[in-house]
Structure 1
Amino acid sequence: YHRCLCNQGYSLSANNATCSDINECEGGSGGCSEGCINSIGSFWCFCQHNGYQLDRDNKTCIDTNECETNNGNCEHICTNTNGSYTCGCDAGYQFNGTHGCSDIDECAFANGNCSQQCVNQPGSYHCECQANFKLDTDNKTCIHCPTCSEFESVAADVANFKSKAVVIEQLINRNIRLSATVASLEDRIARIEASLNLEALPANEHP
């Protein structure tokens, strides 16, 4: 008496002599959480919906985190969702398409609520005032300031003096380092000269 055996993925036919493929996708879909495709001697699972991928067990479909790869090609913010993802923008920017962001020109809308000058900059803006005016505590309203021009002139002079003082300090430090180097070289030369003079003395005059 002998018995025939079949390889994995096959079952013994009724004649107990031949093997036929097992269709694992029938009855339970082979354990696949979504799609199942039968193949000769085996089968494989696949995910039927975009935004999902097979887990490590090669059967269960899990969400694909698109933001983990190149930030989902989003220029600023990538937010993963079940089966998909969305792109967003940092403060001061607006969404301009599928992935990109563009600066919001706050000054184009009611002058940024600045009472005088509005200066736009990437992702933000600020208000400025004309001569003899200064920004109030709200950083938007300009209030009259007759002495501001004089103060700004003095402040500019102070800033100029400070910048020059830094340069002078750097030159002083450089001179100190150079003086120390010169002193070291002079000492070295003196030692060499003393050694040469000693060698030039007759042997009976050496100390």
Structure 2
Amino acid sequence: MSETFDEATTLKRRTFVAASTAVAGLPLLTSDRLPAAASASTAAPTPADQLSTVRLTVNGEQRTAKVDNRTSLLDLLREHLDLPGTKKGCDQGACGACTVLVDDRRVNACLTLAVMHQDARVTTIEGLARGEQLHPLQQAFIDHDGLQCGYCTPGQVMSGVACIAEGHTGSRAEIREWMSGNLCRCGAYTNIVSAIEQTAKEA
């Protein structure tokens, strides 16, 4: 019985090894060997009727870009306008890392299309400082150690600026409530609230 089992197993192994070797010897389908139809579809440019010219005032400067109509505001800022300070986190509007101000209102840039904001005023983290002088909230984040890895910090700061402007800083609990859309995986929430609280009092 054991001899029969071992023999059958050996045959199966040999068959598998032989088949694997044959497959490994086949040439890979690189881009230059793909069928013509497949190559054409991957290289097809975006039709002109799906492109739009978007004009924005970003951080006080007039900017223009021609983008696919499906381009998010986040991708416009990062990939077309070379403003990588706004971070792509979840890309689903759940983490707040991509928060920017559009006409002084906070927006998750990953959830909104660039073409929806024609002629809007957009402020990103790059537009807060005045030369070498940091925005008061940026300085407060440093003073209160409101960041660790720093990835969520641009979104936290932009949301905090809006939180103060909106007048939602009456208490630490109120600040936490109105900042709840911005997640910090490092858990620096207490210090973030302190930074916003200090800036609001000084303002």
Of structures 1 and 2, the larger Rg is shown by 1
Kindly indicate which of the two structures has a greater share of residues assigned to strand.
Answer: 1
The two structures share one fold, judged by TM-score above 0.5: no
> What is the TM-score normalised by the length of structure 2?
0.24
Kindly indicate which of the two structures has a greater share of residues assigned to helix.
Answer: 2
Identify the structure with bigger relative contact order (alpha carbons < 8 Å, sequence gap 6+). Answer: 2
